[in-house]
Amino acid sequence: MKILHTVPGKSSLLLATLFVAMLAGIGSSSSLAQSPFGRGKPAPPDQYVLIHAGTLLAVPGDDPRTQVTIVVKNDKVLEVTDGYQETVDGVDVANIQIVDLADRFVLPGLMDAHVHLSSQPSFSRSRAQRGTWQGTDPAKAALNAVEYSRVTLSAGFTTVRDVGSDDQSVFAVRNAINAGRMIGPRILASGSSLAVTGGHGDGSPIEDSGDPTARLVNGVCDGPYECRRAVRYQFKVGADLIKFTSTGGFGSNTELTRQLTSDEIHAIVSTAHMLGMKATTHAYTAEAIKEAVRAGVDSIEHGFLPDDETIKMMKKAGTYLVPTLSASLPPPIFNIKDSESERIRAKGQAFERAYAAGVNIAFGTDAGTFDHGTNAKEFDMMVRFGMTEMDALYAATISTATLFGIAEEVGTIEAGKLADIIAVDASPLDNISVMHNINFVLKSGRIAKINGKMTEPFNYK
């Protein structure tokens, strides 16, 4: 699995898909024919899932269809047909599973562009009390990531972007999911978030501040040379993307103002892009956002305080806003008055203004600063702040898939795409709050949740 550690982003997803396909025996007949030991074991038969969907929103933005069958073959969508299909030509019924969602609303698996899978408020609090923010207890962080990825998948999120966790722990969990060893969301992971000395996300202990290895491992860099090296280090250990913190943040009480120089920002973004990785930055103030946009950053996390010029620049450059409205309601771990982040968010109205201006908006929550599995509250807030229900669903599927660079493979329910499919009890286009109760989850063709209950998390085969 070494190759999965070193190939980032889209390529690693494709490789992971190929790997799972190989496990499933797809395309293995030609390699068996070349075996010097004869024919070998026959390839296992293709597995089909026929999903009878009462209402299907296959492509958010288009009208839903009613009474259709989604034909899933192994890990992919084969086709969507009218009416409720019970058989597949030439396929033994033993290899067909029918899922009755005739009274449900079916849509593509959701995506969250901003989670922290190895922590949750209780865990973060204990780390904060020790005076460090980043993972000082990798074993606990790995177990957290196993549990929280399962909770996240149960909430209907089939792909997430982890933007700052205990890096080795989250990479290990990502790889186990990609290899089919356990069921969880597809994870794109940044590893350690990059920060400057004393900046937001500098998790290195005070006593290690001069230790180059500790700084590298914790993602701390100063100046363009160190920052290029920090990007290359995260790439080497397994990052799919690079996250860096351009300004202070609520979690570290480092104010919200800019912390990185222009040459540091440009070094990080250009090195990430050269290595085929996306770059995203945590940034609150207009000045910091603008410098990142000038450097070609792919997305802005939070972005609560843009000026009009910032919005124009993001629109022109195609930069995505990851609004994390949920993060404006922080848990008590953050040593600030709860109302302070809400007040700053409301003052900037970044989400409302970016939406009105037609800026690309992805779906991102900052889960991990609040409980995992409650990601859907972001939908409530998006709609409350003026987004249509359809656009909120578009943001959480097609838009976020495009930001991730994987829109060819996921984000809609169409022939040839990975079968990531969820169901809710009623139409979210009428009432977005139904997104809190996910009835069914299929990820890469495997049933993870049915009738509101999760299936076994591990693959014992």
Cβ 190 to Zn ion shortest distance, Å: 10
Q: Does 166 help bind Zn ion (rule: CB under 5 A)?
A: no
Cβ-proximal residues to 87 (8 Å cutoff; 6+ apart), any chain: 93, 96
Least distance (Å) between residue 367 CB and Zn ion: 9
Closest approach of Cβ 117 to Zn ion, in Å? 11
Inter-axis angle of helices 167-178 and 138-154, to 10 degrees? 50
Q: How far is the CB of 366 from Zn ion (least distance, A)?
A: 4
How many residues of this chain interact with Zn ion, rule: CB under 5 A? 1
User: CA 12 → CA 102, 215, 352, distances in Å?
Assistant: 35, 27, 35
Ramachandran assignment for 144, one of left (phi > 0), alpha (psi -120 to 50 degrees), beta (any other) = alpha
State the residue number with the nearest CB to Zn ion: 366
From the CB of 293, what's the least distance to Zn ion, in Å? Answer: 19
Residue 368 Cβ vs Zn ion, minimum distance, rounded to whole Å: 7
Question: In angstroms, what is the minimal distance from the CB of 52 to Zn ion?
Answer: 39
Print the binding letters for residues 361-390 with Zn ion: x by CB under 5 A, - otherwise: -----x------------------------
Q: Where are the alpha helices (DSSP H) in 180-332?
A: 212-217, 223-237, 262-274, 286-294, 308-317
> Which CB atom, from 74 or from 193, has the smaller least distance to Zn ion?
193
Q: Are the C-beta atoms of 136 and 426 separated by less than 8 Å?
A: no
Beta carbon nearer to Zn ion, 201 or 405: 201
Smaller CB separation from Zn ion, 69 or 326: 326
Tokens matching residue 273: 């892009």
- Which residue's entry shows tokens 């006593």? 207
Which is nearer to Zn ion, 365 or 412 (by Cβ)? 365
Q: Residue 114 or 443: which CB sits closer to Zn ion?
A: 114
Quick one: 240 or 366, whose CB is closer to Zn ion? 366
What the block records as the tokens of 356 is 């009105």
Residue with tokens 């009428």: 430
Q: Measured from the CB atom, is 202 or 420 closer to Zn ion?
A: 202
Pairing of strands 96-108, 76-82: unpaired
Closest distance between Zn ion and the C-beta of residue 116, in Å?
Answer: 6
Within residues 307-366, the interface with Zn ion by CB under 5 A covers 366
Amino acid at 245: T
Nearer to Zn ion, 259 or 439 (CB): 259
Secondary structure letter of residue 179 according to DSSP: T
> In 392-437, where do the E strands start and end?
421-424
CB of residue 224 to Zn ion, shortest distance in Å: 25
Taking the C-alpha atoms of residue 431 and residue 426, their distance in angstroms, rounded to an integer, is 8
- The Cα–Cα gap between 225 and 68 comes to 56
Q: Is 309 helix (H, G, I), strand (E, B) or coil?
A: helix
**Cβ 327 to Zn ion, closest distance in Å?**
7
CA dihedral sign of residues 174, 179, 181, 184: positive
C-alpha span between 434 and 430 (Å, rounded):
9
Whole-angstrom distance, CA of residue 15 vs CA of residue 419 = 16
User: Whole-number minimum distance, CB 163 to Zn ion, in Å?
Assistant: 6
221 in Cβ contact with 196 (< 8 Å): yes
**Residue 47 or residue 400: which is nearer to Zn ion going by CB?**
400
| For Zn ion, the closer CB: 264 or 366 | 366
In the bound state with Zn ion, the residue whose beta carbon lies nearer, of 78 and 279, is 279
DSSP 325: G
Q: How far is residue 290's CA from residue 60's CA, in Å, rounded to a whole number?
A: 30
- Residue count of the chain, please give it: 461
SS3 347: helix
- Residues 6 or more apart whose CB falls under 8 angstroms from that of 234 comprise 167, 190, 191, 192, 194, 219, 242
Binding site for Zn ion (CB under 5 A): 366
